[in-house]
Each structure stands twice: as structure tokens, then as C-alpha cells.
A and B are shown apart, each in its own frame.
Chain A
Amino acid sequence: MSLLFRQRSSGASQVKISGFRRFVMFFVHNAQQCIASLGELARYPLASLMTMAVLGLSLTLPATLYVVVKNTEKVGGDWDQAAEMTLFLRNGLSQQEIATFTKRLNLSDDIESVRWIPKDEALAEFREGSGFGDALDALPENPLPDVLVVVPAAERRSAQAAQALLLELQKEREVAEARLDLTWLERLQALLNLVRDGFLALAILLCLSVVLIVGNTIRLNINSKRDEIIVMKLVGATNSYIQRPFLYTGVWYGVIGGVIAWFATAVLIWWIQDAVVGISELYDSQFSLEGLSVSEMGILWLLAILFGLFGSYLAVRKHVSSIEPQ
């Protein structure tokens, strides 16, 4: 539409293009500019690939850290499952009373299983394990209490729920003291939180650097095309028309950088896999690192593209409008 000359039809309206066709053409033009900016990148393959590699490798570290945290949490979850409570029973209970108490606990919905360790058994075990056999013989009677090892039901196994259950059990008449070895669990959880928060901060910093790197590269691109931009502005190009190819360039950086990130993450995980298996063998457990799932790869890709787009958006918004014909 002509701004100054009302009677003058201009551009697409002059060649009588229907609204629908113009709508379609908008996407066709975008697709053309999209392909054109890919061609532009292909003209300088090394420079383009280097930017893409920077983007991809910068995302590799957060992605790998994410995989590590994910796997650690899985392990942490397994350990959580193993939470057991130890009930030390009052002295002077008869075998009958203990058996009844055990049965009563077994019937509770909150408890999965109860194992009774009679004090004589515990003493025998202690005698063998500790090497204090002679000293124990000197004692007039068995100093150890009867012990019940309680495994809570699945839904009572989180640190908080287990704590609540522990308080309930503590109130039982037969129980002298109940202990839940939560400290190590809490410590593990705190450690996991620390690792996760640290990794998150690191990931945010790296993502920020990705945006800045893409922004800077696009800025250099814009400056190297300064003359072309001036000519385009002189013949009536809007900022958004000039910006579009640069935005697509940013998107392409993300598309290919994301794929680089996939491969680099896979290589990195393969690299640390051996070490992880080594550690898990030391702990007598079967464990293998679980890599990125398909949906996680999709998210990684999407993030790479978004960062590429955002970086180039920052650059074009500032620099395309600042280049004006003199």
C-alpha cells in the first residue's frame, strides 16, 4: 500500500494477488529466506561450523550434567527405597509379647515387613563380629535389647513420611527407642541438591554464553553486510524484512548446534560410562548410565534452536535498526 500516493497501488496488490495467496506467499517467502540463509552459511562452511560447534559444545556440558544428575537421582531413589527403621524394644518383654507386637505391626498398612532379631542372636553375632567375645563373657547378662527391623510400606518411604511413622512407632508401649537412619539419607539428598543447584547455575551460565556468542556472531554478520543493508533500506525495505535472514541464520545455528550437542553428549556419556560402571562394581551393584531419551533430545534441540533465535534476535534488534543510510 502506498503511503504518500493514495491512488497508487503498489507491490503485490498491483499484480492482483488474492488474500489467501498472499498468506501462502508469506510462508513461501519465509521458506525461501530460510533456505537462502542456509545457503549463505554454506558459503563459509568453516566459520559457520565453528559457531555451530561452539553452540553445540556449550550445550553439551549442561546436557551431560543433566544426565549425571538424572542417573544419580535414580540411584538416590533406590537407596531411599531401602530405608529401614530399627525399633529397640523395652527390656523385660516376654517372647510372647514380642511375637504379638511383631504380628500387630505386620498387619498395619503402613508397614511392609517386620524382622525380629532376638537379643541372643544379636549377641552371638556381635561376639563374632567385634572380637570382644571375652569381655562379653564377663558381663552378667546380655546387654543388648531385642530389635525389630521395620520396612515401611512403599508410600511411607520418603524421608518425611518415614519420620512420621517413626514417631508413631515410638509411642508404642513395647518400644524403648526407635531409630531411622535418616541422617545419611538427608545428607545424600542435600548433596544431590547441591550438585543439582550447582549444575543448574552452570547450565544457566553456559546457555547465557550461547546466546551471547550467537548474538555476537550475528552482529559481525550484520556489520559485514552493512552496505547491503543500507541499499535495502534505501529502496524501502522494512527492518523486519532485513532482519529475517539473520534470524533464520540464528535458527540454523541452533538446528545444527543441537545435533552437534546430541553427538557430543553421547560421546561424553560413553566416555564416563566405564568409570561409572567401575564405581558401581565397587559398591556391588549393577548399574549403567542412562543417556538422553528421545524426548530429552527433542528438548535439547528445541533449546538450541531457541537460544540461536534469541541470540540473533538480540543482535538484529539492536544493530539492524542502527544502520541507517547517510
Chain B
Amino acid sequence: MIKFEQVSKTYPGGFQALNQVSFHVEPGEMAFLTGHSGAGKSTLLKLIGMMERPTAGRVLINGHDLRRVTAKQIPYVRRDIGMIFQDHRLLMDKTVLDNVALPLLIEGYSMQEARKRVQASLEKVGLGDKLKHYPMMLSGGEQQRVGIARAVVNKPPLLLADEPTGNLDPKLSAEIIKLFEDFNRVGVSVLIATHDLGLIARLRYRTLSLRDGRMINDGLQEA
């Protein structure tokens, strides 16, 4: 599903965020990506979401080389990837309904058509009754779940999450992870970046570890 081949990323100014990283996440797999802050987790996710391009090497999603994707095609790539952020990136002046419907409206749904899927998506994350609320009226955990509902509303085959539990207490974090497990169970590939090692330790998923831009453990062989 996600394949990195000798990928390096050097930012303008010379900082090398990733150094010859290779790994392969299979379709339907759920994996964690860990490392200290600055180890390159965010950069790695940005390369998949095409917010950045690699300096060297290639990134493949479902066998498609992202180097061959033009700038104009990037939006279409992003429609296939559900992205979840630590700061959830909701539009604060729009209702939960409008926020979650956004990816559908962009794809050309009418609001009536989108509404049903928004409802289903919100119910899945346990917020079926918060359609008309504004994000400000929700707790941090609820806001994060709205972000997840928005990421899965158009049923992407791939979910990326960048520190989705970063601001949440352990109980809420476990609930969020459980949501990802639910999506994974129906065949969605999931890649979660987190530095919450305690969280991962309790779960038995493949864990990719980055340190200073290098993949020190891709989770397949014991380090």
C-alpha cells in the first residue's frame, strides 16, 4: 500500500529530515510510526500526503510512483488518503456537519447526498447527535473524532494520522486507537505516527521507528 524506496528528504537550508528510508506497509495493514520529535515522522507523512516531495528515492502508493503525479493531480491523490492531524484542523466557524461534509462537497456531492454519509461517519465515531454543533462547543477528544469522521467520510483506502492522541489523556487515546482498529478491520490501511510509546506497547501492531531521519527498525525483524 505504502512503499518507500531509499527515500531521502533534505529541506532547503540543508537539514536532512529523512535519510534513505525504505519500508513497505501492506494493504490492509495497520502500523505505527514512532521516534522522537524531529526524527522525521511528520516529514514521512508529508511525503505520502504530497505536502512535500522527496529529494531522492521514490514513494509508491498502491504501486503508483508519486514522482509521476503532477502538481495538478495532487488534490486527487489526497482524496484517496484520509489524513488526521494532532491539531485536527477543523474549520472553527463551520458546523460539524459542514466540516465533515467538506471532502464530499469537494468531490461534487450535493449537500443532501453528503448529509447521509456525514451522519453515518459521525455515528461511527460516536458523535451522531453533534451535527449542528460548532467545534468550539466540543471537547478535545470530540474534536479529534470529528477530524477522524472527516478523514473517513469518503471511505479512503488509506488513513494517515499524525499524533492523533497527542493532546488526549490515556483513556481517550485508547478510544481513538480503537476507532482506527475498527477501520482497519474493514480493510483500510492505517499508518499512525506517535511518540506515545506507552500506547503502542499495549498493542501488538507493527511499529516503524525513526531516529534522526533513519529507519532504525521497520517492525518486521526484532531490533
Q: Flag the segment in B69-77, B138-146, B164-172, B212-220 that touches A.
A: B69-77
**A residues 1-35 touching B (CB-CB < 8 Å):** 1-5, 8, 10-12, 15, 22, 25, 28-29
Please state if B79 and A10 are interface contacts (CB–CB under 8 Å). Answer: yes
| A contact residues around B78 at 8 Å (CB) | 233-236
| A contact residues around B79 at 8 Å (CB) | 2, 10-11, 235-236
Please state if B62 and A11 are interface contacts (CB–CB under 8 Å). Answer: no
Confirm or deny: B106 has a beta carbon within 8 angstroms of a beta carbon on chain A. Answer: yes
Q: How far is the CA of A63 from the CA of B85 in the complex (A)?
A: 53
Q: Flag the segment in B107-115, B123-131, B177-185, B203-211 that touches A.
A: B107-115
Q: Mark contacts of B191-209 with chain A using CB atoms, 8 A cut-off: 1 yes-contact digit, 0 otherwise.
A: 0000000000000000000
| B contact residues around A239 at 8 Å (CB) | 75
Q: How far is the CA of A228 from the CA of B93 in the complex (A)?
A: 10
12 example contacts (A-B, Cβ-Cβ < 8 A) are as follows A3-B80, A4-B64, A8-B157, A11-B79, A12-B108, A15-B113, A29-B110, A231-B91, A237-B75, A238-B75, A241-B106, A326-B51
**Interface residue count on the B side (C-beta < 8 Å):** 31
Q: How far is the CA of A29 from the CA of B106 in the complex (A)?
A: 10
Min C-beta distance of A132 to chain B, whole Å: 89
| B contact residues around A231 at 8 Å (CB) | 89-91, 102
Please state if A237 and B106 are interface contacts (CB–CB under 8 Å). Answer: yes
Please state if A236 and B75 are interface contacts (CB–CB under 8 Å). Answer: yes
Please state if B91 and A5 are interface contacts (CB–CB under 8 Å). Answer: no
Q: How large, as a class, is the contact surface on chain A?
A: 20 to 34
- Contacts A231-B89, A234-B49 hold; do A4 and B77 have CB atoms under 8 A apart? yes
Q: Mark contacts of B81-120 with chain A using CB atoms, 8 A cut-off: 1 yes-contact digit, 0 otherwise.
A: 0010100011100000000001110111110010000000
- Contacts A29-B108, A234-B83 hold; do A3 and B150 have CB atoms under 8 A apart? no
Confirm or deny: B61 has a beta carbon within 8 angstroms of a beta carbon on chain A. Answer: yes
Confirm or deny: B154 has a beta carbon within 8 angstroms of a beta carbon on chain A. Answer: yes
| A contact residues around B73 at 8 Å (CB) | 3
Confirm or deny: A296 has a beta carbon within 8 angstroms of a beta carbon on chain B. Answer: no
Please state if B107 and A11 are interface contacts (CB–CB under 8 Å). Answer: yes
Min C-beta distance of A35 to chain B, whole Å: 13
Please state if A12 and B107 are interface contacts (CB–CB under 8 Å). Answer: yes
Q: Mark contacts of A226-246 with chain B using CB atoms, 8 A cut-off: 1 yes-contact digit, 0 otherwise.
A: 011011111111110100000
